[in-house]
Amino acid sequence: MKRMLSGIKPTGQLTLGNYIGAIKQFIAYQDEYEMIVFIADLHALTLPIDPKELRKNTKDLISVYLACGLDPNKVILFKQSDVHEHAELGYIMACNSYMGELSRMTQYKDKTSKIKTNDSIPTGIFVYPTLMAADILLYDADYIPVGIDQKQHVELTRDLAIRFNNHYSETFIVPEPVLSKTGAKINSLSSPDKKMSKSESDKGTIYLLEDLNITRKKIMSAVTDSENEIRYDMENKPGISNLLTILSALTNKSIDALVEEYKGFGYGVFKKAVADVVCSELEALQNKVKEIQESNVIEQILADGAQKATYLARKKLSKVYRKIGLN
C-alpha cells in the first residue's frame, strides 16, 4: 500500500478552506493509502502565537480530524512536537538547502510582504519548508495531498530528497504532490481573489466551529459581480466561481451540473442554497466535535499515534545519521 502524509498547522481556527482542501480529502484517502496525519504544531510557531491559543487550536484540530471520520485505527495521528525527529531532520534539511531556493518560495514572499523590515521577519518562516521536507521524508511518504498553496513546498522537498540521495546514496523516497480534484483552493468570500486562510482574519473567512448564523450571513453577503449570471469564470467572476467551487465540493456535484441546475436563478437564491449546504454540513460537524471534546479520548489517541510515528521516524533518522557520519 502506498503511503500518504499530511499535516495542518494549529495557527488559527480551522476554515472551510482547510476542510475542503485538506481534511475532507483525508477521509477519502484513509482506505486507499497508509495515511499519516499530524498536527504541525512546530510550524505554528513561525509567526508569533499565544500559547493558550496554540493549545486550544491543537485540541480543536484533533477533534475536527476525528469528527470528520479520521479513524485512529487506520491512520497514524499525532502531534509533530511529540516526535522530536522532525526537528532533528529539519535541521539537517536546512543544512542541505540554499538561501536562494528558500527565498523563492511564494508563501514566504506572501507572508513576509506585510512585514516592514528584514530585521523583524522571523527566521522560522524562512526555513519552514526545510522542516516540512523533514516531516515528509522521515516517513517515506509517496504522496502528499495539498492545496495549490503548498505545492511549491512539496516540489522543494523533492529537490532536497534528490539532492541528498545523489550526495549520500539512496535514502529518501521522492514524494509526489496530489492536488484535490475540486476545491483545490477556496477563496475568501469578501475578497474572492484571495485564499481563505486561518491565520489571516478576514470577514470572508468561514470558520468550521463558528456560530452558524454568522456563517449564513457571511455567505449571503459574499462579494459577487453585477452580471447576475451563474457560471464559472475565476478571472471575471471570482465570487460566484468560488461559491460554485464550495457547493461542488460539498455536494459532490460537478460545477457544470451546478451551473445547469441554477441556470436562470438569481444570486440570492444561489447563495441561500450554498448557505444551506454549508450550514447543514457544519452543524453535523460541530455536534460531533462537542461529543469528542467531552469524551476525553484525545490524549490517548495522540499518545498512541506518537509512539507509532516515533518508531518509523527513528529508523529513518538513524539511517540519515549513518550516511552523513553522525554515528
Could you tell me the smallest distance in angstroms from the CB atom of residue 135 to ligand ATP?
12
| CA 300/CA 294 separation, integer angstroms | 14
| CA 180/CA 261 separation, integer angstroms | 23
When the beta carbons of 21 and 320 are compared against ligand ATP, the nearer one is: 21
Burial 179-202 (b: 16+ CB within 10 A, else e): ebebbbbbbbbbbbeebbbbebeb
The residues carrying an active-site annotation are 111, 195, 198
When the beta carbons of 97 and 205 are compared against ligand ATP, the nearer one is: 205
When the beta carbons of 154 and 317 are compared against ligand ATP, the nearer one is: 154
Could you list the residues that contact ligand ATP (CB under 6 A)? 8-9, 11, 15, 17-18, 20-22, 146-147, 149-150, 185-186, 195-200
Could you tell me the smallest distance in angstroms from the CB atom of residue 170 to ligand ATP?
28
Letter for the amino acid at 268? G
**Is residue 146 classed as helix, strand or coil in its secondary structure?**
strand
Q: How many helices (H) and strands (E) does the chain have?
A: 13, 5
Could you tell me the smallest distance in angstroms from the CB atom of residue 102 to ligand ATP?
16
3-state DSSP helix/strand/coil percent for the chain, to nearest 5?
A: 55, 10, 35
Do 6 and 277 contact (CB within 8 A), yes or no? Answer: no
When the beta carbons of 185 and 253 are compared against ligand ATP, the nearer one is: 185
Could you tell me the smallest distance in angstroms from the CB atom of residue 26 to ligand ATP?
9
Q: What phi-psi label fits residue 206: left (phi over 0), alpha (psi between -120 and 50 degrees) or beta?
A: beta
